[in-house]
Amino acid sequence: MRCYLERGRKDEQTVGLVPTMGALHEGHLTLIDRAIEENDIVVVSIFVNPMQFGPREDFHKYPRRLEEDAELCEEAGVAVVFAPTPEEMGMTPKGADWENDITGVVPPKSMTAVMCGRTRIGHFEGVATIVTKLLNVVQPDRAYFGQKDAQQLAIIQQLVKDLNLPVEIVPCATVRLESGLAMSSRNQYLSAADLPEAARLYESLSRGKEVFQGGDRTAQGIITAVSAKLKETSTFDVEYVELVHPTTLAPLTEIEEVGLLAVAAKIGNTRLIDNILLRHREPIVAIDGPAGVGKSTVSRQVAHQLGLLYLDTGAMYRAVTWLVLDADIPLDDEAAIAELVSGVEIILKTSEDLTDPAQVWIAGKEVTQAIRTPEVTAKVSAIAALSEVRSALVAQQQSYGLRGGLVAEGRDIGTHVFPDADLKIFLTASVQERARRRHKDLVAMGLGDISLNQIEQDILERDAIDSSRAIAPLRRSADAIEILTDGLSIAEAIDGIVKLYRDKLGNF
Ligand code: PAF
């Protein structure tokens, strides 16, 4: 593996690592997709780490499916699956278990004394040690961790900082089933009857979010509401409901800017954890959906009616395209484009008149008109397909998200760009309806000699490509509200979203 990676590094290829314990599920695949999107070479490690299991925990029972996992990795485009044995990771056999008497990494006490650390004694030392070893072996540029294990994520971010490890830790949003249940390898232990019950964990967190959005920012108010919701079912044996700072994990009495609301509970012998971020900022509305449902028209007008910024991501890609053309950089010089976009500032300002597009500045220059020329239009798709450009712009969009007060639309806004958006809409329409609309537009342009059937086929193909593409694939967030626009006018779709916003966030 090392030789292979070293060869790649000589060619200045970037390496992304996705550390896992195997039994890969949709959540892992999202981390892998993101790593593939952002790096030239992706390594997935699969290692059920004995050091992070307590004596009475499920180390022996933990699902192991190396062959299936390797196949999934190959299908996803992973270059290397690193699946060491415990011996190769420096441990010695001791009966059916492993002697873990090796040099260890000890995270700050304050970060392990809360949440899961209260009962899982030694767990985070085991995680910190193995992650440090994996980072040293693979030496990736970026490593990907799920927000679902929020305490693990915070501890790893701290350890990378404290030990000056040269790697970027990329947090990835929790992937949920339609029911809201967070994906986890341990969900396999649940029976069919347990599954809907388990989803109540997320319902209880969502209750906490409602209380917070209703204006109560105190830990006492929020935790009491979550606990009361959990008590509505006798299924759970609740271990904790805590509100902490997401970076330091320090317990909060009140949310000033942001809080991590986390729960752990057992259903039978299966221990589940989940969390959400509660952020004190202006609201964010995320509107995702397939091509051709009128997302941009709807989003622009929803933003206008609610007095929010329409985060025109299309204009951002146009601005970068203009900058690349202005600097005379050839479109295939990815390294030069990446350097140009890293750190460049794009400013968007909504125009008072809705018929005017947003005013746009890039690198200090006003480019509102310049980004609408045919030259920019001809090149924008190629530029937007570059992963470095996309990562830089997603980072900029997320920095707009810190302030909030915006509506954004796309394919993965609610799942990837703003996973903690306050209102998530999945705007869609049947293929037949989208084909009818497209046909009507083509007729209006004098291009109506293509059959409806052909348009439907084209739409189905485009949907399949959009859902499986490496960059920004179309994803419906588990907590998105679906609006089927068949039979609805644009005005009705807009009214529906504005009403949902006011019902949900009226007190914001
Ligand atoms: O999250 C996990 O699967 C594990 O804790 C990790 C990060 C792979 C370390 O063993």
Q: Over range 357-385, report the average pLDDT.
A: 89
- Any domain includes 178: no
End-to-end Cα separation, the chain, in angstroms: 51
Q: Is 143 helix (H, G, I), strand (E, B) or coil?
A: strand
Cα–Cα distance, 206 to 149 (Å, whole number):
17
Indicate whether 9 pLDDT > 90. no
Nearest to 470 by CA among 94, 131, 16: 16
What are 325-337's pLDDT values in tens digits?
A: 999 999 989 889 9
203 and 161 inside one domain: no
Q: Which residue has the higher pLDDT, 119 or 438?
A: 119
Residue located nearest, by CA, to atom 6 of ligand 1: 20
- Please report, as a single letter, which amino acid is at residue 2: R
- Please report, as a single letter, which amino acid is at residue 35: A
Nearest to 423 by CA among 497, 355, 327: 497
Ligand 1 centre to CA of 240 (Å) is 21
Cα–Cα distance, 230 to 202 (Å, whole number):
10
Atom of ligand 1 nearest to the CA of 149: 1
371 and 471 inside one domain: yes
Atom of ligand 1 nearest to the CA of 131: 9
Indicate whether 485 pLDDT > 80. yes
pLDDT for position 2: 73
Q: Looking up tokens 């986390």, which residue turns up? A: 262
Indicate whether 351 pLDDT > 80. no
Indicate whether 463 pLDDT > 90. no
pLDDT for position 233: 82
Find out whether 354 and 300 touch, Cβ atoms under 8 Å. Answer: yes
- Any domain includes 116: yes
pLDDT for position 352: 66
145 and 190 inside one domain: no
What are 56-92's pLDDT values in tens digits?
A: 899 999 999 999 999 999 999 999 999 999 999 999 9
57 and 204 inside one domain: no
pLDDT for position 101: 87
Q: Please give the structure tokens belonging to residue 160.
A: 């990378």
- Domain around 341: 284-505
Residue located nearest, by CA, to atom 3 of ligand 1: 20
Question: Among residues 260, 279, 298, which one ends one of the domains?
Answer: 279
- Any domain includes 425: yes
- Any domain includes 177: no
Ligand 1 centre to CA of 411 (Å) is 29
pLDDT for position 477: 86
Q: Over range 3-7, report the average pLDDT.
A: 79
Q: Please give the structure tokens belonging to residue 204.
A: 């209880």
Question: Among residues 250, 279, 308, which one ends one of the domains?
Answer: 279
pLDDT for position 508: 43
Atom of ligand 1 nearest to the CA of 20: 8
275 and 292 inside one domain: no
* Residue 456 CA from chain centroid, whole number: 31
Residue located nearest, by CA, to atom 8 of ligand 1: 20
Indicate whether 124 pLDDT > 60. yes
Q: Over range 223-242, report the average pLDDT.
A: 93
Question: Among residues 223, 246, 279, which one ends one of the domains?
Answer: 279
Mutate to test the pocket of ligand 1, among 30, 32, 127 (most ligand atoms within 8 A of CB): 127
- Any domain includes 22: yes
Indicate whether 504 pLDDT > 80. no
**Which domain CATH number covers 215?**
3.30.1300.10
- Any domain includes 179: no
- Any domain includes 257: yes
Pocket of ligand 1 (CB under 6 A): 19-21, 49, 52, 127, 130-131, 149, 152
359 and 248 inside one domain: no
Cα–Cα distance, 255 to 279 (Å, whole number):
8
What are 264-321's pLDDT values in tens digits?
A: 999 999 999 999 999 888 899 999 999 888 898 999 999 988 889 999 888 999 999 9
Find out whether 471 and 383 touch, Cβ atoms under 8 Å. Answer: no
Active site members: 28
Ligand 1 centre to CA of 58 (Å) is 14
pLDDT for position 507: 42
**Which domain CATH number covers 439?**
3.40.50.300
Indicate whether 173 pLDDT > 70. yes
Q: Is 304 helix (H, G, I), strand (E, B) or coil?
A: helix
pLDDT for position 354: 59
pLDDT for position 100: 83
pTM passes above 0.75: no
16 and 32 inside one domain: yes
Ligand 1 centre to CA of 52 (Å) is 9
352 and 453 inside one domain: yes
397 and 422 inside one domain: yes
Q: Report the number of distinct structural domains present in the chain.
A: 3
Instruction: Kindly list the strands in the beta sheet with 309-311, ordered across the sheet, starting from the edge strand earlier in the chain.
Output: 309-311, 406-410, 284-288, 423-428, 481-484
Ligand 1 centre to CA of 433 (Å) is 45
How many of the other CB atoms lie within 10 Å of CB of 87? 10
Mutate to test the pocket of ligand 1, among 47, 137, 149 (most ligand atoms within 8 A of CB): 149
Instruction: Kindly list the strands in the beta sheet with 258-267, ordered across the sheet, starting from the edge strand earlier in the chain.
Output: 236-244, 258-267, 270-279
Find out whether 300 and 313 touch, Cβ atoms under 8 Å. Answer: no
pLDDT for position 356: 66
Q: Looking up tokens 């085991």, which residue turns up? A: 126
Average of per-residue pLDDT values in the chain = 91
Q: Over range 463-474, report the average pLDDT.
A: 78
**Which domain CATH number covers 38?**
3.40.50.620
426 and 440 inside one domain: yes
Q: Over range 216-237, report the average pLDDT.
A: 94
363 and 498 inside one domain: yes
Q: Over range 384-406, report the average pLDDT.
A: 89
In sequence order, which ranges of 102-147 are alpha helices (DSSP H)? Answer: 109-112, 123-138
Atom of ligand 1 nearest to the CA of 127: 9
242 and 385 inside one domain: no
